[in-house]
Amino acid sequence: MVFSSMTFLWIFLPAVIVLGMIFRKPSVQNIILLMASLIFYAWGEPVYIILLLVSILMNWFLGMYMGKSSSQGARKAVLALSVICNLSLLGYFKYAGLFTHTVERFLPSLGVKTVNISLPIGISFFTFQAMSYCIDLYRGEYEYQKDPLKLALYISFFPQLIAGPIVRYVDIEKALNDRKVTSNGFASGMRRFIYGLSKKVLIANIVADVVDRVVVNPASSMGFVTSWFIAICYTLQIYYDFSGYSDMAIGLGRIFGFEFCENFDLPYLSSSISEFWRRWHISLGTWFREYLYIPLGGNKKGNVRTYINLFVVFAATGLWHGASWRFAFWGIYHGFFAIIERLGFSKFLKKHKIFAHIYTILVFTFGWVVFRADGLRYGLSWIKQMVIPSTGSLRLGVFAGPWHISALVLGLIGCGPLQVFCGYIRDKKKGPKFTGSICETVILGMLLIACIIRLSGNTYNPFIYFRF
């Protein structure tokens, strides 16, 4: 089940909201939300609900044992066991195919055959969330959770179960035990949800249509103009798709009394790749910084070690996104520029703002081409079309109509320029408050109607990050 489906919008979500209004006690609401979360996951993954339950129970037992143990050695052993178990589950279901395929291709004499294992939806997200619980528990940031139902709700809560943001237990521990669902929080959550839904349905889905129909053709047939147009379309698609999901998740959390961390901060306004990664998928970047980069030594063990740590983190970030060497290349590609900036290039970028923005846009746009391409070879061929002017056999007018152009223009305006302009106006002139005003209410109503009309024709796509 996805947020941008009629089943979710007209049946699932209203039912959960109504039940939450009837039963106001947090302990009862926790049970309702837990059952709703398990139904939500089982709707798309009826078999792998068992895997989710195994992950929950495993981490609850390990956390309980760690919390009760007074021996530091025993606690460390339990932590190591929890990391091994969680990574083993993730490794088997997500990376076994990549490992066996690589061995079969480069070491055929071993007789290893490629295995094809169906990837459970959202396994990367709920595994990382479960791991953070045990790691922070070992660090003494909170007491172990005695109630398995509360930990189960933390790991499986449906707003952020499938595609984040990755939430740390310490951030919602209080809300699990005692929270208040207020009218202001409900209204704020609904506003955020509708904005996120609009991003997904009215921009991401529309530009995705032209991208999907073009990339099934050979990259060499695109030509210079078409290759750039499709690259820009996908750059907007992945931003509005993922940030739209995050907006909906944050909004749903507020509706039920939870406050999740922000996951995007206008990343396309960045003036360096390092800044881009502080603004893009913030919860994942925070996770890798807290649980991989800093434990490896961060920047405290000399420059060479720092560069190695950055390389490891970005390679891991790439592989987290997908079990393919193409994703590893994409992560290392970003890591290369992050290291170059740390070597001193960032000083140049700070002095030349316009160049810095152009450089950053080019780097992440070329990166998204590799990310979207069906294989690294296709991605490099696509990039070749972008840098060497040529006339391809594909005619853009056949694929892109007025709706696609309109969505593209709105997407370009809304991924940063509009927010900068509105901020400038607020600084220069104090006008009437927009948030919560009648004007915003009318706009939200129009956006919601437009989304429903689009969805009634089954014109939605699954969220991109569901695959990770």
Residue in 251, 253, 83 with CA at minimum distance from that of residue 171: 253
Phi, psi of 145 (to 5 degrees): -85, 115
**Cβ proximity of 86 and 13 under 8 Å:** no
**Cβ proximity of 166 and 261 under 8 Å:** no
Residue in 113, 108, 125, 129 with CA at minimum distance from that of residue 172: 129
Write the single-letter amino acid at 368: W
What is the Cα–Cα distance from 21 to 4, expressed in whole angstroms?
23
**Cβ proximity of 59 and 134 under 8 Å:** yes
The residues assigned a catalytic role are: 321
Residue in 393, 277, 383, 392 with CA at minimum distance from that of residue 336: 277
Write the single-letter amino acid at 77: A
Write the single-letter amino acid at 397: G
